[in-house]
Structure 1
Amino acid sequence: MDSRTYRKVVGRFATGVAVVTTRVGDVDHAMTVNSFTSVSLDPLLVLFCAEKVARFHAAVLEAGVWGVSVLPASMEDASRFFAHRGRPLDGQLARWRHHRGASGVALFDGALATLECSTKDVHDGGDHSIVVGAVTALAAPSDDAPLLYYDGGYGTL
């Protein structure tokens, strides 16, 4: 089996799209993910996966807190932007209205849902780490159509 075939096969599973954020010192870090899921209701746990070579990986492990903004279809531009490697960190959130949660992480005002989390566990997942977080705050501010990712492209319901 090769990685290209693998990507095609797993790409047949439609997912939502979110931006995960964290803050180290005065620097915001953000990354688009489609590997975000609920884990447990008691206690409230969620997870996302971060590629180990991504600069976000080191930042989120250092910070120990992170936010999740589940994106509506109208924020595809944000998804594309935060999926690009090597973009400047300075001012990267300026194009999208956001606010700070109680933990200090950025949360997008236009999100369908937001969560703040503190890292509970980190597990090895090959070239990624599986970051499990305890939910410390949550909201569902919008009922807009969700942004979906399927078969290598964006869509909506």
Structure 2
Amino acid sequence: MAVNPDTFRDALAQWPSGVTVVTTLADGNWHGMTASSFSSVSADPPLVSVCLLKGIYTHDLIATSGVFGINILAADQTELGKRFAGMIPDITDRFEGVDCHTSETGVPLFDHALAWIDCRVVFEYEGGDHTIFVGEVLDAGNPRKSAPLLYHSRSWGQFADQLPEKAAVADVGITRLETETGVDLSADKTALAAAGVAVSPAEVVVDSRDPAAVEAAVEAQANVGIDRVVLLHAFDPDRHDAVLFAASNLARGGFTQVVLDDTAADANPLIVRQRLVDVSVRIKPSVTGVCLRDHAGLGLANALAALKSGVTQFDTALGGMGGLIATEDVLYLMELLNISAGASRGATVDVARSLVGNPDIAGAIEPRPTWTL
């Protein structure tokens, strides 16, 4: 007995897949459509396949031209997937505003896809109402390192956020306070370190807006012997690619910890997610860290977004000194999320209380609500 068609479609809808845009050309004109029925076939020789419904325009063009491209979409390219699926009716030219290039076959390949594959059809197989096109891979590229766009149960999505099992906290505020006031806080710093919070670890500071500074830091890393670098202005909303480039170069240059600093209070949860998802994947195995500011009440929201984006190092300041997110608040957040920080929140709060009671630095920090939680 034949399976019920609706049941069959519903069953297949439970299979999660990546999302691609299949491109081809006819008479020099570009064409493309969204498809998820793509798979690898062989590594030697390199072969891939795409399965397309007979009668649709792209199917007929590939059958005639004998060439096609595969563009694998990233999690932030849902709009692009919907555009090439014909789900945005106001768009007449699907390629408008999409940065593309060509390689061996002349088909359009997306500059900002996770990956692109340029193919020549070598086999065609009947597959019921579909045709299975097997393509020889003539060229391929990986422009980005990020999370993929997924399609499941007729919905667009991405991998669920997975919080880290552990993360580290460093306090960079107490040493700055000591320097600014000239007050000896060595006893407090010792107590803070005993609580499990790193105190002002050695670091190289680099401005992400200065490519020459990034290059100089990379060249000097081996001689300096410092593995940690702080990248200033790392959440500038207009400098996504520049920050990725800088972070990648610093990690490749030997820095094992790259801390993105919210220097100008640009960060919000959306920017944090977009920036860190790309950075954390790109710089592995180097550790991704952040130094966030508690502006507009977004401190913990940004910290949570950072944790969801692969961050395992937080630069903070007791009591939120200097506008940074408070050490105690971050430890409290990790405690709620069952993330091991390797530090005692109670002992950390005790150090903060001692600073409040120090008349030589009166007003430097104020009590936090998390002290009593």
Shift of residue 84, structure 1, vs aligned partner: 2.2
Which residue pairs with 1:50 in the alignment? 52
TM-score norm. by structure 2 comes to 0.40
Structure with larger Rg: 2
Q: Which runs of 5+ in 1 are unaligned?
A: none
Aligned residue for 1:83? 85
Tell me which residue corresponds to 2:8.
Answer: 6
**C-alpha deviations, 1:59-96, integer Å up to 9, x for none?**
011111111100001111111121128x7997321132
Aligned to 1:113: 115
Q: Which has the higher contact order (CA 8 A, sep 6+)?
A: 1
**Which of 19, 41, 54 pairs up with 1:17?**
19
Instruction: Name segments (4+ residues, structure 1) moved above 4 Å.
Output: 87-90
Asked if the contact 1:27–1:90 (Cα under 8 Å) also holds between the matched residues in 2, the reply is no
CA-atom RMSD in angstroms: 1.8
Q: Tell me the CA shift for residue 10 of structure 1.
A: 1.1
Equivalent pairs, count: 156
TM-score by length of 1: 0.93
- Report the Cα offset of residue 27 of structure 1: 1.4
What letter corresponds to residue 47 of structure 2 in structure 1? L
What is the CA deviation profile of residues 115-135 of structure 1, one whole-angstrom value per residue up to 9, with x for unaligned ones? 000001010111110000000
- 2:32 aligned residue: 30
Instruction: Give the C-alpha shift of residue 149 in structure 1.
Output: 0.5
The aligned residue for residue 130 of structure 1 is 132
SS at match of 2:120: strand
The code of the aligned residue for 1:53 comes to G
Alignment deviations for residues 3-50 of structure 1 (CA, whole Å, 9 cap, x no partner): 221111111111000001011112111011100000011111000011
**d(CA) in 1 for partners of 2:93 and 2:18?**
26
Distance in 1, matches of 2:91 and 2:109, equals 16
Q: Does the Cα contact within 8 Å between 1:27 and 1:89 map onto a contact in 2?
A: no
Bigger fraction of residues in helix: 2
Contact 1:29 1:89 in 2 (8 A): no
User: Structure 1's 26 and 74: CA in aligned 2 closer, same or farther, altered over 3 A?
Assistant: same
Q: For the residues of structure 1 that align with 2:92 and 2:82, how far apart are their CA atoms? A: 17
Whole-angstrom distance in 2 between the partners of 1:3 and 1:28: 34
Partners of 2:135 and 2:148 in 1: CA distance? 23
